[in-house]
Structure 1
Amino acid sequence: MFPPRLRRPTHFLLSPKTRMNLQNKKFPWHIVVFLAPAVIIYSMFSALPLLDTLRLGFYTSNDAGVHSFVGLANYHTILFDSDWSKAFWNAMLNNVKFFAIHMLLQNPIGLLLATLFSLKGLRGARTYRTLIFLPTLLSVVIIGFIWQLILSPLWGVGEGLMTHVGLGDYFAPWLGQESTALLTLGLVSVWQYVGIPMMLIYAALLAVPEEVLEAAYAEGASSFRIFWQIKLPLILPTLGLVTILTFVANFNAFDLIYSVKGALAGPNYTTDILGTFFYRTFFGYQAQIGSPTMGAAVATLMFLVILLGVASYFYFVQRKLTRYEL
């Protein structure tokens, strides 16, 4: 044994060839060069604004625009002050309803369509897939404007089309009624974005090994049983991914509500979600004066809600799916 100060360096225990390789190994500058643009752009336009928003939520500003630190006062005002909390919790509840509409309609319809298109011998499958996916490529503003024209009780074609098929008595100004406005906008959003879960699930179904399916058919299993006992368990990770993408997209939603109902999200704030509530708080609208610090607090709460949802998914769902795969 060598004394501590006289102990041999560990690299002398390596073979000459290994020591030569370590000496000739250079720092991978090419990796830094290729990653630098993405890291710089992401930091400038995503990470730094997010950090500054989190910081700004702890401040308030006076009429002169001078910021002063107030800690959690802005969050306490939004969550518990009667002038703010009612609007915030109304927007939160509407956002939950908006997400529920997509979970109950969009994703099951996407699963059904993907299952149909994955069947062999279906004529026109490519055409149908293209037509269903096409609305996702259009601007949300255009989609909102078109559906506003269709459903208008004054000059829309919706009432005429329903009358033509004998359903004219059921037509109503759905976008103008408090009880149906949010549901109508949710259905419009489902119509536009159902192609995304359809294509993701369709790709997962195509990845199911053919050998497993052929073996199941050889054993006499029906198509229904093969779907529930073989295909569905194998695409559970994709269904989980679709769920979390739907959650994030819905709690970040803004443009469809704004393009159809404006920043006030009428009638009587029944279509108000966190995105429109944040817009009015930060920029102001009509009689409401904008406050960047309060808007930053609202944005931070939105970020925490999304973060909590994603973390819950990874902790309670993704971990079980990983164990199932193993």
Structure 2
Amino acid sequence: MRVDLFDFDLPPEAIALRPARPRDAARMLHVAGGAPLADLGVRDLPSLLRAGDVLVFNDTRVIPAQLEGQRGEARIGATLHKRIDLRRWQAFVRNGKRLREGDTIAFGAQVTAMAEARHADGSWTLFFPGEEPVEVLLERAGRMPLPPYIAGKRPTDAQDRSDYQTMFADKDGAVAAPTAALHFTPELMAALAQAGIGHETLTLHVGAGTFLPVKADDTLDHQMHAEWGTIDAETAARLNAVRAAGGRIIAVGTTSLRLLESAADESRTINPFTGDTSIFITPGYTFKAIDGLMTNFHLPKSTLFMLVSALMGLETMQGAYAHAIANGYRFYSYGDSSLLLP
């Protein structure tokens, strides 16, 4: 499909620079197949789902994966986006043309990395020598990797260390938050449980590739970056049992959705899964694992706006986004939410 079909005018001021406080005070646009759009709030979620439904959250934890350093006189910026092994990460590098294989980059006084290999897409493999886990080094030298649409408007600060982490964050490895889950609080989870709505978790370590613009003119020519994820056998079995009992599987965030769809087969069975996924969902895709999606508002011509258009229909989502913009909804990572029920 032509990428320009997914373009729309988004005022810069619509991109939220801070989250709602408290988190579950955010607005939520209810988009249901055939029904009028409804302006609601995240706290209305228990009344919009049914007893027996299950929400699926991503329990990845964002690491401080943005580094600023020096290679001689050259300033080098690095955003780690995919773990290769215990001491190696693939990274997008700013000023990477100044690097040669074997160069050492000093990220402050205590953390160094070797530029080990350059990839075809311009990213680099960085090797972090030493005995301490790389995550410990990142806590010492790194910053939270806010999306460029926020970081370009204000500096990252101490508040982002907590703001850009969900209440489910447990397993280190993401360089972008599964932002739909940022809206959840213990109070909201208690209300959902009281309404008979369950929840499960999976892990997808979100990579910085999620922020890359689609530069191709046709979706067929866009290359998705791979991300590592896992769904264990017990979780897969419980989710299949939910659907067999007539409940719905509602993905919280596009990251949960993409991993669930990667794990599902043509019979709509969710299988255990561990490995990389680079699934790219565009209109025409047949969903096998999920019955709905809670997600924030995405940017024009992004792979994520293509995904929600695949779920609900492009015309429906164009109308929903026009409504959201006209009514002052806040977009992107720290923005408001939508509940999409086809």
TM tier, shorter chain? under 0.3
- The alignment's TM-score, normalised by the length of structure 1, stands at 0.27
- The alignment's TM-score, normalised by the length of structure 2, stands at 0.26
Q: Normalized per residue, which structure has more strand?
A: 2
Q: Normalized per residue, which structure has more helix?
A: 1
Larger radius of gyration: 1
